Amino acid sequence: MIWASRARGKSADCSERHGARAARCRADATASVLFHGLLSASIGSVLIGLTVAFFSWRTLRRATMGPLHAALRQFGAIAAGELTTRVAIRSNDEMATLLRGVASMQDKLRATVTSVRAG
């Protein structure tokens, strides 16, 4: 790493000093290397965290928005009087429960309209 080479360079500069000044100089060089190493690790961790957060958001958005748009299209069809279209249910989660409820409502509405027309 670049910082390690800098620290070695500083340590070489410290060899010209004696006693407490030399010890202090070596401690500063070591602290500088540790600081820059931790700074790099922190930046890397933040970048990894942001990447994971982005992919999690994208996955959750797909899992919720697709079925929600399907439900909205179905509501639009029902509002337009089209009671024969069916919505495809591809999962078994909360959004699928919502779509099953829409399908059940559509079936009952179709039965009601049929019985009213029959007289």
Phi, psi of 10 (to 5 degrees): -70, -35
Question: Looking at residues 96-114, what average pLDDT do you find?
Answer: 90
Spans of all domains in the chain: 2-118
pLDDT at 113 over 70: yes
pTM here is 0.55
Predicted local distance difference test score (pLDDT) of residue 20: 77
Predicted local distance difference test score (pLDDT) of residue 15: 65
pLDDT higher at 51 or 88: 51
Q: What is the pLDDT of residues 9-65, one digit of tens each?
A: 555 566 666 777 878 888 888 999 999 999 999 999 999 999 999 999 999 998 888
Predicted local distance difference test score (pLDDT) of residue 8: 52
pLDDT at 5 over 70: no
